[in-house]
Amino acid sequence: MEKICALLLSSLTLISTAACSAGNSNVSSSSTAPNITESSQSTVSDTSDSSKTTSSDSSETTVDDSKITADDENAKKAMKEIINDFAFEGVIYAAKNGKPVASYAKGTLENGEEITLNTPMPLGSVSKQFCAAAILLLQERGKLSINDTLDKYFPEYKDGKKITLKNLLSMRSGITDILTDQIADVNKTDEENTASIKKWVFENDLRFEPDEMFEYANANYTLLGNIVEQVSGKKYIDFLRENFFEPLGMEHTGSIGELPSSPKWANGISYKKVDTQPGLTKGAGDLISTGADMTLWMEALYNGKTISKESYKQMTSNYSPQENYGFGFYIDTGGNPWHGGLIGIYSAYDYINQDNGFTLFVSCNNLDPFKTVTMASRLHTELT
């Protein structure tokens, strides 16, 4: 049985500082970065062809100057150097107050199609911020509270009275993460797979008492995605589309679960390279998007156009100072949110500098996630 594809980067704090100085408001070096290999605490695995991922010292990639756009020559020169250092293939999209200031696109998709700035690519755990925003939007509408305990939504869960939605959002629940190779059969419907995941999570003991410490676990966001559905009465992806994607004009953003039946908006992405079993990545790592769409999202998010500014403040507060995590975002030393993601052969990264309106999105299919985030950290240092 295939295992779930990698959804996340458990913590990427240390590697970001390798390329950046603290004076540029980059990620704090105070926390420890766990391995991103499969363990009892993570769901990182890869069902794809690992030969696609390359290291910067082995690739023959040559930077094409014509594919780099930037507002000034110094920025363009810096981008060329960074892209070359990492032999990067994928999409880079930087903006200031929603307007593009620098971009790059190069490479090929699984079917040989060229990667362009308009190519939607999987986000992995960058998707979590959408789930967090959905919960906060429902709170604004009086439909739930982040202080609700889980027994309200999962009365069958033996530890439900101990754990709040806030604990799930901030990765401080103590819930054991999902290892789908320990679930009997996940090749079923969304509802059946979700039920299997919940059963597995609810039968396992907590790893620690809620709010005692931080531990990254995809299961937190799997449960949150299910709560969005319970409270809204809509499918999770439909709730995101109606409340976020359509109002913002994000026409090239959707769910990996839609790829097998509706691949037109993500041409070239083969669902054979990304696990699209229904329900397995919902809430935790299920989305595909473009640089332009992600720019619309980030600009709207920090300007209070999707959720209120008070909700955004909750989302980007640091609830675990050693690990620097908010709700669906890591928080850098300048208080700026970012996140990395990995699923199948795809890694992604987004970053918001809320002080100057700078946003950055990176997605690729030829680098491991550590290299992607390190490269992206260098980019936002040079471009801001």
140-157 pLDDT, tens digit per residue, is: 999 999 999 999 999 999
Going by pLDDT thresholds of 50, 70 and 90, the confidence category of residue 184 is low
* Distance from C-alpha of 365 to C-alpha of 380, rounded to nearest angstrom: 20
Tokens at 317, concatenated: 């507060």
Instruction: Say which range, 91-100, 255-264, 339-348, has the weakest mean pLDDT.
Output: 255-264
The strands making up 337-343's β-sheet, listed across from edge to edge, are 69-70, 99-106, 90-96, 358-364, 346-353, 337-343, 330-331
Contact in structure between 106 and 89 (CB atoms under 8 Å): yes
Range picked from 57-71, 98-112, 236-250 for highest mean pLDDT: 236-250
Tokens at 135, concatenated: 């919960």
What domains lie within the chain, and their CATH numbers? 13-383 (3.40.710.10)
C-alpha 75, offset from chain centre = 26
**Percentage of the chain modeled with pLDDT above 90:** 64
Helical axes 128-140 vs 218-232, angle rounded to 10°: 40
Contact in structure between 44 and 275 (CB atoms under 8 Å): no
Tokens at 249, concatenated: 């004009």
Residue 291 CA neighbour count, 13 Å, CB half = 24
What is the b/e burial string over 284-315, where b = at least 16 CB atoms within 10 angstroms of the residue's CB? Answer: bbbbbbbbbbbbbbbbbbbeebbbeeebbebb
* Distance from C-alpha of 24 to C-alpha of 364, rounded to nearest angstrom: 24
Contact in structure between 286 and 127 (CB atoms under 8 Å): yes
Model confidence pLDDT, tens digit, residues 273-304: 776 677 778 999 999 999 999 999 999 999 99
Contact in structure between 321 and 346 (CB atoms under 8 Å): no
What is the b/e burial string over 101-111, where b = at least 16 CB atoms within 10 angstroms of the residue's CB? Answer: bbbbbbbebbe
Which residue would you say has higher pLDDT here, 122 or 16? Answer: 122
